[in-house]
Amino acid sequence: MTFKFDKGISVDTNYYRVSDIKYLTAEAFIITLPKSRFSFKAGQHISLSIKGDYQSREYSIYSGENEETFQILVKEVEGGYFSPKLKNLKEGDLVEVHGPFGRFGLDEKAKDSHKHVFIASGTGISPFHSIIKSNPGLNYEVIHGVRYQIEGYEHKSYDPEKYTLCTSRDSKGNFNGRLTEYLKLADFEKNTIFYLCGNSNMIFDAMEILKGKGFGRESIKVEVYF
Ligand SMILES: Cc1cc2nc3c(=O)[nH]c(=O)nc-3n(C[C@H](O)[C@H](O)[C@H](O)COP(=O)(O)OP(=O)(O)OC[C@H]3O[C@@H](n4cnc5c(N)ncnc54)[C@H](O)[C@@H]3O)c2cc1C
């Protein structure tokens, strides 16, 4: 199936025009596209490419399941191939979206019976933003590890009582130190499902800490970015 855009260009349905780019920091930005032409479950990711470029990368979906626009949150990786190109996109540019992919998401069986603790490093917060927006009333807690307080991307989207920002390089967060240090000190109720997303070092360390607190693999879900 093809779509005809206003400028008369016919393109495949996988193509979307960028409707907005919002910079949250010098490196991180939200790309907004029109409402997706596919349905997805919060927590899933897409594969994204830029028209005319042969490479693609995966990005978690940042927006909620039923929103009028479709968003991803990206951090530019210095020296990276793709993310600097995304940062240079302009409103109206064409991107190609494939997906949705993945099984990372809310444990539906435990949705009402358990607390859901979302543990993220950096842009690993993205799927949790989508899950929380898509599930009003969810019993959740977010633990977000970043270097500087400014990287607590759109932290006002979360209930301040349920959100802890751990900052390792300044003391402006809720906890001064790595999120793994926070996890060592934290107490969690027995009926908790943990969701870990971000870089593999954080995920492996966090899993060990949770294991030490008596939580088995069946109560931990993982999405590794790199
Ligand atoms: C399932 C999945 C979902 C993802 N979702 C997101 C997302 O929502 N937002 C997002 O910004 N990225 C996300 N990523 C990472 C993304 O796919 C790219 O790897 C990232 O944008 C870097 O691409 P690049 O071409 O610029 O760097 P490349 O040229 O591919 O790689 C350069 C180096 O950067 C490292 N790297 C990759 N990501 C990061 C990072 N965030 N910080 C520091 N170093 C990194 C790589 O390991 C590599 O060594 C996701 C990855 C996966 C597998």
- Indicate whether residue 181 lines ligand 1 (CB < 6 A): no
Q: b/e string for 183-196 if b means 16 or more Cβ within 10 A?
A: beebebeeebbbbb
Task: Kindly report the CATH number that applies to the domain delimited by 108-224.
Answer: 3.40.50.80
Copy the structure tokens of residue 101: 């992919």
CA distances from 12 to 4, 48, 86, 211 (A): 9, 14, 20, 47
Ligand 1, atom nearest to 84 Cα: 26
pTM: 0.95
Q: How far is the CA of 187 from the centre of ligand 1 (A)?
A: 31
| For the chain, the helix, strand and coil percentages under 3-state DSSP, each to the nearest 5 | 25, 35, 40
H or E segment and range at residue 161: none
Q: How far is the CA of 25 from the centre of ligand 1 (A)?
A: 17
Dihedral, CA of residue 95, residue 96, residue 99 and residue 101, to nearest 10? -60
CA distance 172 to 170: 6
Q: Which residues of the chain have pLDDT under 70?
A: 1-12
- Indicate whether residue 45 lines ligand 1 (CB < 6 A): yes
The answer to whether 158 and 178 are in contact (CB under 8 A) is: no
Nearest to 104 by CA among 226, 200, 224: 224
- Indicate whether residue 168 lines ligand 1 (CB < 6 A): no
H or E segment and range at residue 69: strand 69-75
Ligand 1, atom nearest to 223 Cα: 1
Ligand 1, atom nearest to 127 Cα: 8
CA distance 81 to 65: 29
Looking at 3.90.226.10, 2.60.120.10, 1.20.1630.10, 2.40.30.10, the CATH number of the domain 2-101 comes to: 2.40.30.10
- Indicate whether residue 77 lines ligand 1 (CB < 6 A): yes
Q: What are the residue boundaries of the structural domains of the chain, listed by start?
A: 2-101, 108-224
CA distance 104 to 194: 12
- Indicate whether residue 44 lines ligand 1 (CB < 6 A): no
pLDDT at 13: 77
Which DSSP letter does residue 124 get? Answer: G
